[in-house]
Amino acid sequence: QQQVKQSPQSLIVQKGGISIINCAYENTAFDYFPWYQQFPGKGPALLIAIRPDVSEKKEGRFTISFNKSAKQFSLHIMDSQPGDSATYFCAANAGNMLTFGGGTRLMVKP
Amino acid sequence: KAGVTQTPRYLIKTRGQQVTLSCSPISGHRSVSWYQQTPGQGLQFLFEYFSETQRNKGNFPGRFSGRQFSNSRSEMNVSTLELGDSALYLCASSLWNKNTEAFFGQGTRLTVV
């Protein structure tokens, strides 16, 4: 049972554009929401994370928006660069167990 | 500060064999979790260890087991390998308290033939 639904599965954005990835969860016990970036042949790398008492968090070009009532959160990548081309995973934590979304393969065209 | 180290990076095993994978967490991290990544099922939680005790377990058969040593290093074992066990096995380490960032290693790519 997939408890974290991620969309879209793939995304193509022009260089300089905004990439937006969305996730929705069901389990209200989740209390920490990280995003990971994964390049081929590498393990997932922590990008940015948010706790449910915060509605938005920004780190550089990356912003998480969190809507607790809707049980949704999203990642915005501003000024997307070709080097951002990777697979992105949202995740939700409960009791030190991460439940991952299905992943979004992002391609940023030069 | 060294990251999470997983060994070996690649393994090829035959059906029915068993395999042991190793993970050395970031210095000072006491929680170690294991995940399986496949194209079909994505990233799935296997188990989590803290202070040599398994605190959480995912929905995997008993063929999958693990342990943690007093220095926080962890191993996972898969017995009676099946073709479907072919996957990238990832280890993540974090500090002892809940809801802190989990950092992943590069993984061990297991191929079962």
Given an 8 Å threshold on Cβ–Cβ distance, is B55 in contact with A96? yes
Is residue B1's pLDDT more than 90? no
User: pLDDT tens digit string along A33-47?
Assistant: 999 999 999 999 999
pLDDT (average), residues B53-70: 95
Is residue A1's pLDDT more than 60? no
Percent of chain B with pLDDT over 70: 96
Contact A87, A104 (CB under 8 A): yes
Is residue A2's pLDDT more than 70? no
Given an 8 Å threshold on Cβ–Cβ distance, is A98 in contact with B55? no
Identity of the residue in A43, A91, A103 whose CB atom sits nearest the CB atom of B106:
A43
Given an 8 Å threshold on Cβ–Cβ distance, is B104 in contact with A103? no
Average pLDDT, chain B: 94
pLDDT (average), residues B18-30: 95
Chain A residues in contact with B24 by the CB 8 A cut-off are none
Chain B residues in contact with A95 by the CB 8 A cut-off are 55-56, 98
Confidence of residue B63 (pLDDT cuts 50, 70, 90): very high
Q: Hey, is the C-beta of B89 within 8 angstroms of any chain A C-beta?
A: no
Is residue A81's pLDDT more than 60? yes
